[in-house]
C-alpha cells in the first residue's frame, strides 16, 4: 500500500502560500507504515483537478486531499470527487444541521452558499469537522484492476486538517488504530553527542518508545515517541523512558515539553519567595528580557543593568573603571559585578556576565573566555565560557548558561527554604 | 503558455524535507507572466519519475524540474529525460572538463561516478552551473499535438537552482530577457492603510515600477519592482519612485533595504560622536539589546538599566518609590527616568520607558498608555503609546517607538554638530 497527497488551491500554485500540509501528512503516514510516493498540487479548476484526482486514484492505494472544501464557487473538491466516481452530489441533512447550528452559535444565519458544504458524492461517507464548517469526505473507488483506492478529502486549514486526520482519517487506515503518543524532555549543559553516549541504547533505532535527540541554541531536547494499543499503554511506556533518561542524565535535565530554563528558574524563585537581579555586558539585555518574559516571573525579577562600558560599570555598580578593562583573565570583574548587583538591588541572588573578550587583542593560539558569575547569600561562583559554534547564537547561549547556573544553585539547595 | 513545476526526491515525499523550490519558482514565473497550474513531487525511482515527466510534458508548455542531478545511483533525472525523449545519454566533454577542474581546485581527483553528471540526453542543451558540479539540462520536446514543451532540469540545492534560473533559464523564457530589479524603502510611525492613502496612485496595480506595502511589527516596507530592458533603465525608474515616496511620506521614511531603525540611529550617533543610555521597564532589556546589536553601534551605547520594580527605580535612578506607582497618567515617571538616566550616565541622550499599565486596575472604558521619554541637552520629550494589535509584538513595537523618537530628534537637529 502506498499513498499520494494532493493539495488544492491557486494560492499554492502561484506561490502566494507555501503548502506544509503535504509534508505533515507524509510524516504522519510514515508513522503508520504507509510510504508516500507522490505529492501533487493543482490550481482551483474542475478539469485540471479531475485529471489530477484520476491519475492519483490509478497510481496510489490511498489518496489524501487537502483544500477545496470551502463554500465559494472555486471550492470544487466535492464536485470533482463525485465526477471521478461518476455519481451525483446528495445533501446530507445531519451535516446541514451541524453547519446551521455553528452559524447560530455565533448569532448569524447560515449564508445560502454554505449549503454546498453539506453535499457529498453519493455513496461516500461524511467525516465530521468539529473545528470548522467544512466536513471531510471518505470515498472508496474500485478501480478497473479490481483494487480499491481509498480517498479522504480534508480542509486546507492546517489546524482543522490535523485534527480531522487524527480523529477520523488515521483510524480508518491499516494500523491506524494504534495510538502514538509523544513527550519531550529538555536538557542543558551537555553536548548532543555526549547526551547520546550517556543515553546508551535508549537511542537505539528499533527501541519502543523511540528516543530522538535534537539541539537548538545549546538546549538539547529528547523526543520520546511511544506506540501502543491504548493511551494508557503509551503513557506507561513514556513514564518509564522518562525516568531512565533522568537517571542517566541527572542534573542536565531541566524540564519537559515547552518549558524553558528561565521558566523553571523563575517558577522556583517564585515558589521560594526569593528574588534575582542581573548585570550584563556580553548579553546586552537579553538575560533581563528572558527572565522578565518567563512564565511565572511574577515579582522575583527586581532589576537589571546593562553595563558594556567602564563608565556604566562605575556609575551603576561602583566598579573602578581602571580595573574594568577587557580581557579580564580570572573572571574578577564578573564576580564584582554580581556582588555589587546583589548588594545594590538587595536580592537573594544576582547574575552577572563580563564583556566579550576583544578578538583584536587576542594571540592566535589563545581563546579567551567570557565570564559569568552568580552571587548568593553565602558565596560567589564564577565560570568561564569559551565561545564555540555559531556567533549568531552566542548571546542566547550565554544567557542560558547564566540561567542554568542559578538553576543548579537552587537545585543544590532545594531543602533550605528561606524564612 | 502555462507551467508545471516538478520536485524530485524521496526526502520530499517522506516529509523529511520541505520543498520550497516550487513556491519560489512559481513566484518567479509569475513575474515574467507565466501562470503555474501544477506542482508535482515524486520519490526517486525511474518508472514513477518517467510517468510524472510524461504527464507534465502533455499538460504544460513549460516544465521546470528541480533535483535528481547528483552523481549517485538514485539521481535519475538525466536518464528519465532521455527515456521521455526516446534518445540515449551522450557524454559532453566540455562539461566533464569543468567538473574535473572543480575537483582539481579542491585538490581532489574526480570520483568515477561523477562522470554521469557530464551526460545529457542527445539533442538537449547543457545549462552551466557555476555554483556546483551538476550542470542543468534544457530540452525541447515536440508533442503529438505539434506544440513544443520546453523542459529545464536544475539542481535541488536552492542557491544553485536560483542562480541557474536567473542566469540561464529565465533568459530562455518568453519575456525572460527583461530585467527585473527590486528595492525596499522602510518607514515607521505610520499605519499600512495611512501609508497607502498618502502614496496615492504610486501603489496602483498596473504602475511600473510597482510599489507593494508590507508591515512587520509596525515597520512598513515599500517594495519597489521595476521591469526594463536593462539594469540602468530599472535603476532610473527605481530612483524616481524612491524620490516620489520620500516626497509623499517625508520623515516616516527611515532607511532602505535591510536597514533597521536602530542601525540608522546608532550610525547617526557614531557619525556625530554622541552617546545614548536607556532606562527600561515595559521593554525589559529589548531596547538595550537592539541598540547594542545595531550595525555601527560602536561605543555610542554607554549603558542601560532595567527597572521594572519601585526598588530598582530607586536604586538605579534615585526615583522615589512612592511616586513610582503603576498607572502614572502623565508620563511623569518616564520623564524622570530619562532625565536621571542621562545624568547618571553622562550621555548626550537618554531614552526611557515606564511600566506597562496594569490591566487589572483599569476601568472597562479606559485604555491606559505606556509612556516613552527622550531626554536631550535642552529638553525632555514624553509620548504616550496606547497598546494596539498583537500583544506578542508590543515589546518590539515599543522599542521601535523609542528608537524612532531619537531618530526624529537627530533628524530635526542634524545641523547642530556637537563640538
pLDDT tens per residue across span A305-361: 999 888 888 888 888 756 545 556 678 999 999 999 999 999 999 999 988 765 445
Q: What pLDDT does residue A359 have?
A: 46
User: B380 and B397, same structural domain?
Assistant: yes
How far does the CA of residue B346 sit from the closest CA of chain A (Å)? 9
What's the number of domains chain A is made of?
Answer: 3
Which is it for strands A253-256 and A179-188: parallel, antiparallel or unpaired? antiparallel
* Full DSSP string of B173-220: STTTTSEEEEEEEEEESS-HHHHHHHHGGGG-TT-SSEEEEEEETTEE
User: A141 and A244, same structural domain?
Assistant: no
Q: pTM value?
A: 0.78
User: A19 and A168, same structural domain?
Assistant: yes
DSSP state of B275: -
User: B107 and B42, same structural domain?
Assistant: yes
Residue B355 main-chain phi, psi, to 5 deg: -70, 160
CATH of the domain at B241: 3.30.70.2860
User: B404 and B300, same structural domain?
Assistant: yes
User: A89 and A225, same structural domain?
Assistant: no
Q: What pLDDT does residue B85 have?
A: 97
Interface of B with A in 218-277 (CB under 8 A): 277
Q: What pLDDT does residue A419 have?
A: 40
Is residue A112 domain-resident? yes
Cβ contact B321:B313 at 8 Å: yes
Beta strands in B119-173 (DSSP E): 119-121, 125-127, 136-142, 148-154
Is residue A419 domain-resident? no
Of B188, B222, B256, the one marking the end of a domain is: B256
> Residues with Cβ < 8 Å from A394, sequence gap 6 or more?
A282, A356, A387
Residues in chain A within 8 Å Cβ distance of B40? 38-41
Is residue B18 domain-resident? yes
User: A164 and A20, same structural domain?
Assistant: yes
Is residue B417 domain-resident? no
Is residue B418 domain-resident? no
- Which regions of chain A are under pLDDT 70? 296-298, 321-329, 357-367, 389, 415-419
User: A164 and A183, same structural domain?
Assistant: no
User: A385 and A275, same structural domain?
Assistant: yes
Residue B187 burial by CB count (10 A; 0-12/13-18/19+): exposed, middle or buried?
A: buried
User: B334 and B237, same structural domain?
Assistant: no
Is residue B73 domain-resident? yes
Mutation target to probe the A interface, by most A beta carbons within 10 A, among B43, B288, B351 is B288
User: B273 and B196, same structural domain?
Assistant: no
Domain encompassing residue B89: 3-172
User: B226 and B79, same structural domain?
Assistant: no
Q: What pLDDT does residue B369 have?
A: 85
Is residue A417 domain-resident? no
Residues in chain B within 8 Å Cβ distance of A306? 278, 285, 288, 292, 303-306
B301-306: strand order across its sheet: A380-385, A370-375, A349-353, A276-280, A301-306, B301-306, B276-280, B349-353, B370-375, B380-385
User: pLDDT tens digits, residue range A26-69?
Assistant: 999 998 889 999 999 999 999 999 999 999 999 999 999 999 99
Residues in chain B within 8 Å Cβ distance of A20? 18
Cβ contact A345:B315 at 8 Å: yes
Of A172, A187, A218, the one marking the end of a domain is: A172
Q: In tens digits, what is the pLDDT along chain B, a chain of 419 residues? A: 899 999 999 999 999 999 999 999 999 999 888 999 999 999 999 999 999 999 999 999 999 999 999 998 889 999 999 999 999 999 999 999 999 998 998 888 899 989 999 999 999 999 999 888 899 999 999 998 999 999 999 999 999 999 999 999 999 998 777 888 899 999 999 988 889 999 999 988 778 899 999 888 899 999 999 988 899 999 999 999 999 999 999 999 999 999 999 999 999 999 999 999 999 999 999 999 999 989 766 789 999 999 988 888 888 888 875 654 555 667 889 999 999 999 999 999 999 998 876 544 545 555 678 999 999 999 999 999 887 767 778 899 999 999 999 999 999 987 554 44
Q: What pLDDT does residue B324 have?
A: 47
Is residue A303 domain-resident? yes
Give CA–CA dist B148/A64, Å, rounded.
Answer: 33
Give the CA angle between residues B345, B346, B350 to the nearest 5°: 70
Q: Do B37 and A43 touch (CB under 8 A)?
A: yes
Of B256, B286, B313, the one marking the end of a domain is: B256
Q: What pLDDT does residue A360 have?
A: 47
Q: Do A27 and B45 touch (CB under 8 A)?
A: no
Q: What pLDDT does residue B366 have?
A: 58
Give the CA angle between residues A166, A169, A172 to the nearest 5°: 120
CATH of the domain at B67: 3.40.980.10
Report the residue count for chain A: 419
Closest CA to B265 of B293, B223, B305, B307: B293
Residue of B nearest to A395 (CA): B289
Mutation target to probe the A interface, by most A beta carbons within 10 A, among B306, B347, B395 is B306
Amino acid at each position: 500500500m502506498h499513498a499520494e497527497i494532493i493539495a488544492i488551491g491557486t494560492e499554492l500554485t502561484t506561490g502566494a502560500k507555501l503548502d506544509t500540509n503535504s509534508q505533515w501528512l507524509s510524516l504522519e503516514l510514515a508513522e503508520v507504515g504507509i510510504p508516500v510516493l507522490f505529492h501533487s498540487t493543482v490550481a482551483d479548476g474542475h478539469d485540471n483537478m479531475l485529471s489530477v484526482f484520476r491519475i492519483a486514484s490509478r497510481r496510489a492505494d490511498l489518496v489524501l486531499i487537502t483544500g477545496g472544501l470551502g463554500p465559494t464557487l472555486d471550492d470544487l473538491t466535492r464536485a470533482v470527487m463525485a465526477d471521478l466516481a461518476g455519481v451525483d452530489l446528495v445533501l446530507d441533512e445531519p451535516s446541514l444541521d451541524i453547519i446551521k447550528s455553528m452559524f447560530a452559535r455565533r448569532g448569524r444565519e447560515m449564508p445560502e452558499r454554505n449549503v454546498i458544504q453539506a453535499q457529498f458524492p453519493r455513496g461516500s461517507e461524511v467525516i465530521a469537522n468539529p473545528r470548522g464548517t467544512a466536513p471531510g469526505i471518505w470515498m472508496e473507488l474500485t478501480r478497473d484492476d479490481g483494487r480499491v483506492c481509498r480517498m479522504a478529502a480534508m480542509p486546507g486549514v492546517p489546524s482543522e486538517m490535523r485534527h480531522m486526520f487524527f480523529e477520523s482519517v488515521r483510524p480508518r487506515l491499516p494500523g491506524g488504530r494504534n495510538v502514538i503518543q509523544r513527550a519531550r524532555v529538555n536538557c542543558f549543559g551537555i553536548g548532543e553527542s555526549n547526551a547520546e553516549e550517556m543515553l546508551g541504547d535508549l537511542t537505539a533505532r528499533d527501541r519502543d518508545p523511540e528516543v530522538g535527540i535534537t539541539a537548538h541554541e545549546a538546549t538539547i531536547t529528547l523526543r520520546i515517541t511511544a506506540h501502543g494499543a491504548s493511551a494508557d499503554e503509551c503513557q506507561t511506556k513514556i513514564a518509564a523512558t522518562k525516568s531512565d533518561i533522568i537517571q542517566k542524565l541527572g542534573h542536565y535535565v531541566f524540564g519537559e515539553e515547552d518549558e524553558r530554563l528561565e521558566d523553571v528558574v523563575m517558577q522556583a524563585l517564585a515558589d521560594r519567595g526569593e528574588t534575582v537581579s542581573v548585570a550584563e555586558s556580553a548579553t546586552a539585555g537579553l538575560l533581563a528580557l528572558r527572565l522578565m518574559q518567563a512564565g511565572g516571573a511574577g515579582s522575583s525579577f527586581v532589576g537589571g543593568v546593562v553595563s558594556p562600558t567602564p563608565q556604566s560599570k562605575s556609575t551603576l555598580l561602583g566598579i573602578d573603571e581602571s580595573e574594568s578593562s577587557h580581557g579580564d583573565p580570572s573572571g574578577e570583574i564578573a564576580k564584582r559585578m554580581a556582588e555589587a548587583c546583589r548588594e545594590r538591588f538587595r536580592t537573594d541572588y544576582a547574575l552577572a556576565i563580563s564583556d566579550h573578550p576583544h578578538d583584536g587583542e587576542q594571540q592566535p593560539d589563545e581563546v579567551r573566555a567570557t565570564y559569568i558569575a552568580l552571587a548568593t547569600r553565602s558565596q560567589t561562583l564564577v565560570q568561564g565560557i569559551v565561545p564555540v559554534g555559531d556567533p549568531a547564537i552566542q548571546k542566547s547561549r550565554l544567557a542560558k548558561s547564566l540561567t542554568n547556573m542559578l538553576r543548579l544553585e537552587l537545585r543544590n539547595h532545594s531543602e533550605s527554604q528561606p524564612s
